[in-house]
Amino acid sequence: MSSYDLYIKTPPRRLFFTVAVPGAISMVVSSLWGLFDGVFVGQFLGEQAFAAVNLAFPLMLINFSLADLIGVGSSVPISIAMGRRQEQEASNYFTCACIMIVATGILMGAAFYAAAPALLSLMGAEGELRDLAAQYIRVYAVCSPVTTIVFAVDNFLRICGRIKSSMFLNILMSALIMGLELLCLSVLDMGIGGSALAVSCGMFLCALVALWPFWRGRLPLRFCRPRFSARLIRQVVSSGSPTFLNNTAARLASILMNAVLLRAGGQNALNVYGVLMYAGDIVQQLLYGACDSLQPAIGYNWGAGQVGRVKSIIKCCMAAGAAISVGGAAVMLLFPRQITQLFLSEGGSDLVTMSIHALRLFSLAYLTRWFGFAVQSFLIALDKPLPATVLSLANAFVFPVGLIVALWPLGLDGLWLNVPITSTLVAGIALAILLRMKGLFKALSEQ
């Protein structure tokens, strides 16, 4: 079945199970490398190395988010062009996007390599903690030109209808990284730099595997002679900005949160925040996978003028998001000790008690988090960057930073409640945007 037939002709419910279920599995599996990284560093290198990874990781995710900007930003016009049967235009967007990702990887890698110690000092890190975090960042920075494209090629495979290929690629990446992490940390005893090198090597190898069928011309998207234009770059940046701003603003908020945690609760508070982020990431990736995998379907049908199908696909996305988020909240609420000990098996009783309490408060975020995320996802797919950007910034930066100040009298509890309250406020904004969008769907349906 061609990608056009898959996204345009498959009944919405069957399309959901064909695309979204493998997509959710794919994203969870792809995120396991981050989980493995945290588990292996915590188990093999100890609490200080675990704290260093948690301190450094938001900075590296800002670098990765540039690849997301270009990957998602190009995927929207590619999907719409494919829905209109304009395959040459779609291939040009694809080729230009790949070149842009490699170029930004070179520039950002050089910048992070040079600035890592100074940035960490600004965050309040000192001594060995700062040195470990800087070493971790610099390995990722050197490898950046050949690794970041792996975050975009997944989108391109799904656009071509290669849902299972995308899933198996992510399974391969996590398996490779797990094996390389064990080799570098437990056998070769390479320290925290070995962890970053293992992840980077796994990403690079999987990027090569993923790009091979595009290079051979076996997919609807093909490499071609690039035709850059100001319009193309504006389109990519405009469509990808909500995702980029969400990722970047979230990392900036995490950096600020880490700095506050270091001052308010020391290394223990930083370790607990790391546990929260790793636990929440699994639920977030399930949610992201279900919604993001349906973006090509929304784009294809929007480009083809199939408004009724767009609405049906969005409803499926909403239902899946609610189920995933509530289930994740229940797991965090019921099994906080087991989740904590996965990362901090040798942590003292005070650290474990703090983490259990924090996880129970943090779990409340996922009762409402799914709604704002799902609305933002389909706004991106419909090429509505302005309202999507409003949601992104509110969720990732405006509310989290404002709540750090507003909840300061509550101490550490105020920091653990930051995400749950942010999610509730963002859900309210998303509902207002969704109610306004109903008028647009109704008008287009009547045309």
CB atoms within 10 A of CB 284: 22
pLDDT at 428: 92
pLDDT at 443: 46
Number of helical H runs and strand E runs in the chain = 19, 0
pLDDT at 425: 94
pLDDT at 1: 54
pLDDT at 81: 81
d(CA 352, CA 241): 39
Return mean pLDDT, the chain. Answer: 81
Q: What is the DSSP letter of 394?
A: I
Q: Which amino acid is at 94?
A: F
The mean pLDDT of 406-418, rounded to a whole number, is 88
Question: Given a cut of 80, is residue 267 above it in pLDDT?
Answer: no
Q: Is the dihedral of CA 363, 364, 365, 371 positive or negative?
A: positive
d(CA 152, CA 79): 14
Domain that holds residue 380: 3-445
Q: Which amino acid is at 360?
A: R
Q: Which tens digits make up the pLDDT trace of 297-313?
A: 777 777 777 777 877 88
DSSP string across 310-337: HHHHHHHHHHHHHHHHHHHHHHHHH-HH
Higher pLDDT, 104 or 163: 104
pLDDT at 447: 47
Measuring CA to CA, which residue among 175, 179, 172 is closest to residue 195? 179
How confident is residue 444, by pLDDT bands cut at 50, 70 and 90?
very low
**In whole angstroms, how large is the CA radius of gyration of the chain?**
21
The mean pLDDT of 57-73, rounded to a whole number, is 78
The mean pLDDT of 14-32, rounded to a whole number, is 73
pLDDT at 421: 93
| CB-CB contact of 220 with 87 (8 Å) | yes
Q: How many domains does the chain have?
A: 1
Q: Which tens digits make up the pLDDT trace of 94-139?
A: 899 889 989 988 988 898 899 888 888 887 777 888 888 888 889 9
Q: 269: Cβ–Cβ under 8 A, 6 or more apart, which residues?
A: 261, 262, 354, 412, 415
DSSP string across 30-80: HHHHHHHHHHHIIIII-HHHHHHHHHHHHHHHHHHHHHHHHHHHHHHHHHH
Q: How far is CA 119 from CA 55, 133, 281, in A?
A: 11, 10, 24
